[in-house]
A and B are shown apart, each in its own frame.
Chain A
Amino acid sequence: MDLPAYVARRLLQMVPVVLGVTILVFFMIHLVPGDPARTMLGTHASPERIALLHKEWGLDESLPAQYVKFMQRLVHGDLGNSLFYRVPARELIVDRLPVTLWLIGYGTGLSILIALPLAAIAASKRDAARDQVVRVVPLIGLGFPSFWVGIMLLLAFGLNMGRLFPVGGYGEGFTGHLRSMFLPALTVAIAISPILIRSLRASLLNVLESDYITTARAKGLPERRVLVRHAMRNAVISTVTILGVNIGYLVGGTLVIEQVFALPGVGQLMINSIFQRDFPVVQGVTLVFAILVVLVYLITDVVHSLLDPRVRFE
């Protein structure tokens, strides 16, 4: 198989996928009741004022006409203006994207740092005491919703215990971000780790107890080397698959964490604009989100194929 050709083909396929998503969202969000003009005007809404806003926003045209306009603007990289903030939607999204990416990246990184060693410890001696503990304790993270975990972490570390971390907020500068984002990233990590540990352990055990490894041991290769080189490689494959599979859930999950830690990220923007029916922003965020998810899937597949020589995509 030719990797560059495969990647090129996948990137091309990305276009109809992303387009499909934006069309679906466009029509869905417009057909659901809820009028941004009414939300904005609140108790001061009157038919005349509503009609005026509709005209200003181009909402008085037919849906297909609106969609065409949206696509025309999109080709120029213009996502339209936020109805509520009256600034370009693109500006809003670009400003907030780094925060969300930080959260996802930092959180995923932490979760791997936590999960890999723990899974290795557990798998090294199946069913021993340490195996049991490793399998059970992270379940706390799975059982409690992330907004609960977030607040508990804030209470414990942000306020008490020497105020190690600021209470929410994004922070300034790289080190500032590392410090401010630690607790929210930890919240993300606590949420994913149990799943990661579980599946890493399962796949490590599979490998460790397979013929491959037993043969290597029989040949007298040092155990450590066996573990690290062969088992880990398979572990990475599983990790990548699990994380890739969960990317949608991850990005969606960040919005709650952004809310709790007062992080000005894309998740917050998304949920608020859906509730307010700020159509241009909803469409813009959907587009960005869709591209992100599809790219991650592509990367997952590529990594999978690179690392596992048994796998070849057609």
Chain B
Amino acid sequence: MRIRTTGIGAVLAAVTALAIAAAGCGGSSSGGNSGGGTGDEGKPQYGGSVVIDRVADSQSMDKTTVFDNESIWVFEQIMEPLYTVTKDGKDVEPWLATSYTLSADKKTYTFKLRPGVKFSNGQPMTSADVKFSIDEARKEDQGWGFLDIAIKDIEAPSPDTVVIHTKYPWSPFLADIALFANAVIPKDYGGETKKQFYEHPVGTGPFMWDHWTKGDELVLKKNPNYWQKGKPYLDSVTWRVVGDDNTRELQLEGGQSQVDEFPPFQTVDKLKSTPGITMTLFPSTRTDYMMMNERVAPLADVHVRRAISLAIDRAAIIKSVLFTYGEPANSFMPPQVPYYDKSTPGLQYNLDQAKQEMAQSKYPNGFDVEMLLGKGSADEHSYGQIIQQSLQQLGINVHFKQVDPSTEFANEQEFKYELGFSYWTMDIADPDELVTFAVDPNSGAKSFYTDYSNPDVIKWTHQAQHEFDKTKRQELYTNIQKQAAEDAFMAFLFYSPYRYAYTDKLHGFYVYPTGNYHMEDAWLSK
């Protein structure tokens, strides 16, 4: 009768839904090995275009002012620096310059430029271009100028020589010079205004400008005048914006794109066993932290901070949120950075010790605290909830404040938060930028927005900036890391890799610990 029909209707509805879901999921992974390795197999072939799907769009190609990776990783294919970061992230190697000499007082660097380098428009690169580029980049009142602060002036005595004087001995100098902001562009912007120039920048890099439809795709094409003979192999590279994780994966599987940037951790296993796809985890300099605002009473107590850090079960987070693809962080510096000390005693999970620390603090019975969560990542919600449960055991009641991304950032930077999450990835192959940011309360970030202030640590940080002897420098950074770990100024959470899934047909694709990649080494097999 009618009631029964309606009942059947409900069952029909549910069954249809499940059927669609099942049909959808049936064919996507049939197991088997993922063919091809991460290395280059066979001889590189020429031709082809690569489409890279990424989460967000670039903001601008102005290398002197933008900070977002989506912009940086693109314009690095167009404009190149004198020296560049090595594959292991620990050093720099010659690139547009072939060598340098350092004066005895350590304040004058003389660079020899590589002969035969041309811009993509055919013009030869000279020292005048280098001087112009770095002078523009180091203007203090903008963007990346702060990294070039040690530079006093630049001279171009001959077309293939550049001389740079620093104000004081500055050991991070070579790493700073390798920064993308200091890449070489034509003198005087090739006759255009700065704004016009960066709408279609010209450089010595393997690829040159094609077009950019904002929010959709950015296309670069092969530079026929590239100085590395025989490269690049690809005809063009396209970066496309696909915000939804699932769609990115499907586009890769469907052949619409060749690279899926940052597939979520839970799909890594599946992608590893999908035929035709290579899933690679590249060691990265990404370190995740939970910041504790020392302007909030209980968090100023070092025993409280130590207790919190000891109560966090990092292994559990890595297992359930990163699906085992990560390592607990023992230092605020990641392993891929020079002078990282792997014996740094960053606090790890130990609930008994945590309780002891709480007992020694001024708040043995716990307290209420607010944790800031943003739209930024679904992961943040997950480990926020895990940490909430952990801290419960110490009598610390965490309640969440959920805000949209712009508010999250602003609040952290204005110290309007109690517990918050953040992360760091290295821009240069030198610890100084991170260390100054993280533990120097006089830097713009006020110790990573925690207000942490330890006079010894601050002293060592400044000393290390002028120390050229590698052994002595290591000692200083070892002390800094050790003290920072014992003061538990932040809870160091974990190190995680860069995740890239790409077609088996792509070879020579390698992501550096700083996050960038050299597309001139990449090629497609037919």
Contact = CB atoms under 8 A, between A and B. Distances in A.
- Whether A and B are associated in the same complex: the answer reads yes
Interface of A: 32-36, 38-49, 52, 84-87, 92, 95-96, 127, 129, 132-133, 135-137, 139-140, 143-144, 147, 151-156, 158-161, 163, 166-170, 259-262, 264, 268-269, 274-277
A36, A41, A127 — most chain B CB neighbours (10 Å): A41
Nearest to B8: A132
Interface of B: 2, 5-6, 9-10, 12-13, 16-17, 20-21, 23-28, 59-60, 67-68, 141-143, 146, 195, 213-216, 240-244, 246-247, 250-251, 253-254, 256, 375, 404-407, 409-411, 413, 422, 424, 437, 444-445
A129 B5 CA distance: 7
A34 B407 contact: yes
A217 to B, nearest CB: 25
Contacts of A152: 20-21, 24
Contacts of A86: 59-60, 195
B25 to A, nearest CB: 6
A184 to B, nearest CB: 11
A276 to B, nearest CB: 6
A140, A159, A166 — most chain B CB neighbours (10 Å): A159
B254 A48 contact: no
B219 to A, nearest CB: 14
A155 B444 CA distance: 47
Contacts of A139: 13
B475 to A, nearest CB: 27
A126 B371 CA distance: 56
Given A33-B407, A34-B410, A43-B424, A155 B24 contact: yes
A167 B213 contact: no
A275 B247 contact: no
A69 to B, nearest CB: 21
The 10 closest A-B pairs by CB, nearest first: A46-B444, A155-B24, A34-B406, A136-B9, A264-B216, A160-B27, A262-B242, A156-B24, A34-B407, A167-B254
B247 A168 contact: yes
Contact of B445 (A43, A85, A154): A43
Contact of A39 (B9, B143, B405): B405
9 contacts: A34-B407, A34-B410, A40-B67, A44-B143, A85-B59, A155-B250, A262-B251, A275-B406, A277-B406
A259 B243 contact: yes
A139 B12 CA distance: 11
A237 to B, nearest CB: 29
A275 B409 CA distance: 11
Contacts of A268: 215, 243
A264 B244 CA distance: 13
A40, A139, A261 — most chain B CB neighbours (10 Å): A40
Contacts of A133: 9, 12
Nearest to B406: A34
Contact of B9 (A38, A132, A160): A132
B231 to A, nearest CB: 30
Contacts of B242: 168, 262
Nearest to A154: B250
Nearest to B445: A43
A44 B256 CA distance: 35
A52 B143 CA distance: 10
Contacts of B20: 152, 156
B28 A45 contact: no
B254 A47 contact: no
A185 B120 CA distance: 43
B256 A169 contact: yes
A140 B16 contact: yes
A110 to B, nearest CB: 17
A126 to B, nearest CB: 11
B40 to A, nearest CB: 29
A49 to B, nearest CB: 8
Contacts of B213: 95, 264
A34 B6 contact: no
A84 B60 CA distance: 8
A276 B251 contact: no
Contacts of A168: 242, 247, 250-251, 256
Contacts of B146: 46
B241 A262 contact: yes
A160 B24 contact: yes
A143 B20 CA distance: 14
B67 A42 contact: yes
B1 to A, nearest CB: 11
A136 B17 CA distance: 12
A33 B246 CA distance: 31
Given A33-B407, A154-B250, 4 more contacts: A34-B409, A38-B410, A52-B142, A86-B195
Contacts of A160: 23-24, 26-28
Contacts of B243: 259, 262, 268
B254 A158 contact: yes
A275 B375 contact: yes
B250 A167 contact: yes
A155 B67 contact: no
A286 to B, nearest CB: 17
A136 B6 contact: yes
Contacts of A158: 250, 254
A137 B12 contact: yes
A92, A127, A147, A151 — most chain B CB neighbours (10 Å): A151
B410 A151 contact: no
B63 to A, nearest CB: 14
Contacts of A49: 142-143, 444
A35 B411 CA distance: 10
Contacts of A132: 2, 5-6, 9
Nearest to B250: A167
Contacts of A143: 13, 17
Contact of B214 (A92, A262, A277): A92
Contacts of A35: 406, 410
A85 B198 CA distance: 12
A70 B12 CA distance: 55
A289 to B, nearest CB: 17
B466 to A, nearest CB: 23
Contacts of B410: 33-35, 38-39
Nearest to B425: A43
A158 B5 CA distance: 34
Contacts of A274: 404
A139 B14 CA distance: 10
Contacts of B6: 132, 136
Contacts of B13: 136-137, 139-140, 143
B208 to A, nearest CB: 21
Nearest to B199: A87
A33 B411 contact: yes
Given A152-B20, A163-B254, A166-B254, A38 B413 contact: yes
A154 B410 CA distance: 37
A64 B28 CA distance: 55
A127 B2 contact: yes
B216 to A, nearest CB: 4
B12, B24, B143, B407 — most chain A CB neighbours (10 Å): B24
Nearest to A151: B246
Given A92-B214, A158-B250, A167-B256, A140 B407 contact: no
